Structure 1
Amino acid sequence: MGELQVDVEGRTLTISNLDKVLYPRTGTTKGEVLNYYATVSGVLLPHLRDRAVTRIRWPHGVDGNSFFEKNKPAGTPSWVRTASVPTTGSRAQSDRDTLDFPICDDLATLTWLANLAALELHVHQWTVTKAGRPRRPDRLVIDLDPGEPAGLHECAQVALMVREALAERDLECSPVTSGSKGLHLYAALPQGRGGPDSDGTTALAKEVAEELQAAHPALVTAAMTKAKRPGKVFLDWSQNSGSKTTVSPYSLRGRALPTVATPITWDEVEAGAEDPVGLDQFRFEEVLERVRDHGDLFLP
Structure 2
Amino acid sequence: MTPITEVEGRRLVLSNLDKVLYPATGTTKGEVLHYYATSVAEPLLAQLRDRPVSFLRYPDGPEGQCFFTKNPPPGTPSWVRTTPVPHRGDERAGQVVVEDLASLMWAANLVVEFHTPQWRAGTPGVADRMVFDLDPGAPATVVECCAVAVWLRERLAADGLLACPKTSGSKGLHLLVPLEPTASERVSAYAKGLAVEAERALPELVVHRMRRALRPGKVFVDFSQNAAAKTTATPYTLRARPGPTVSAPVSWAEIEGCRAPGELVFLADDMATRLADHGDLLAPLVDPDRARPLPRGDTPQNE
Mapping 1:178-257, distance limit 5 Å: 178-191=168-181, 196-257=182-243
Q: Tell me the alpha carbon deviations over residues 12-69 of structure 1, each in whole angstroms, 9 at most, x when there is no partner.
A: 0111110011111111000000000111101110000000100011111111111001
Task: Verify the 8 A CA contact 2:187 2:226 in the aligned structure 1.
Answer: yes
Please say if 1:260 is aligned against 2:246.
yes
Aligned to 2:108: 114
- The match for 1:281 among 241, 251, 265 is 265
Q: CA shift at 1:165, angstroms?
A: 1.3
Counterpart Cα distance in 2 of 1:278 and 1:65: 27
TM-score scaled by structure 1? 0.92
Aligned to 2:288: none
Counterpart Cα distance in 1 of 2:172 and 2:71: 28
Task: Verify the 8 A CA contact 1:153 1:278 in the aligned structure 2.
Answer: no
Q: Which amino acid aligns with 2:105?
A: T
Counterpart Cα distance in 1 of 2:13 and 2:69: 21
Counterpart Cα distance in 2 of 1:217 and 1:65: 38
SS in 1 for 2:220: strand
Q: CA shift at 1:135, angstroms?
A: 6.1
Task: Verify the 8 A CA contact 1:271 1:278 in the aligned structure 2.
Answer: no
Determine what percentage of the aligned residue pairs are the same residue: 51
Q: Which amino acid aligns with 1:232?
A: K
Please say if 1:123 is aligned against 2:116.
yes
Q: CA shift at 1:113, angstroms?
A: 0.7
Aligned to 2:80: 80
**Deviating 4+ runs (over 4 angstroms):** none
Counterpart Cα distance in 1 of 2:19 and 2:205: 42
- The match for 1:159 among 149, 159, 162 is 149
The alignment of Structure 1 onto Structure 2 pairs a total of residues equal to: 283
Q: Which amino acid aligns with 1:295?
A: G
Aligned to 1:297: 281
Q: CA shift at 1:84, angstroms?
A: 1.2
Aligned CA-pair RMSD: 1.3
Q: Tell me the alpha carbon deviations over residues 254-290 of structure 1, each in whole angstroms, 9 at most, x when there is no partner.
A: 0001000001111111001xx2357321011111210
TM-score scaled by structure 2? 0.91
Task: Verify the 8 A CA contact 2:124 2:228 in the aligned structure 1.
Answer: no
Aligned to 2:19: 20
Task: Verify the 8 A CA contact 1:153 1:279 in the aligned structure 2.
Answer: no
Unaligned runs of 5+ in 2: 285-303
Q: CA shift at 1:292, angstroms?
A: 2.2
Counterpart Cα distance in 2 of 1:110 and 1:149: 37
Q: CA shift at 1:299, angstroms?
A: 1.3
Task: Verify the 8 A CA contact 2:141 2:261 in the aligned structure 1.
Answer: no
SS in 2 for 1:16: coil
Counterpart Cα distance in 1 of 2:262 and 2:245: 17
Q: CA shift at 1:294, angstroms?
A: 2.2
SS in 2 for 1:290: helix
Aligned to 2:93: 99
Q: Tell me the alpha carbon deviations over residues 60-112 of structure 1, each in whole angstroms, 9 at most, x when there is no partner.
A: 11111110010001111000000110126xxxx6xx42221100001111100
Counterpart Cα distance in 2 of 1:23 and 1:142: 28
SS in 2 for 1:282: coil
Aligned to 2:9: 10
Task: Verify the 8 A CA contact 2:125 2:184 in the aligned structure 1.
Answer: no
- The match for 2:124 among 134, 149, 154 is 134
Counterpart Cα distance in 2 of 1:116 and 1:83: 20
Unaligned runs of 5+ in 1: none
Q: Tell me the alpha carbon deviations over residues 130-163 of structure 1, each in whole angstroms, 9 at most, x when there is no partner.
A: xxx5261100000000000000100001100010
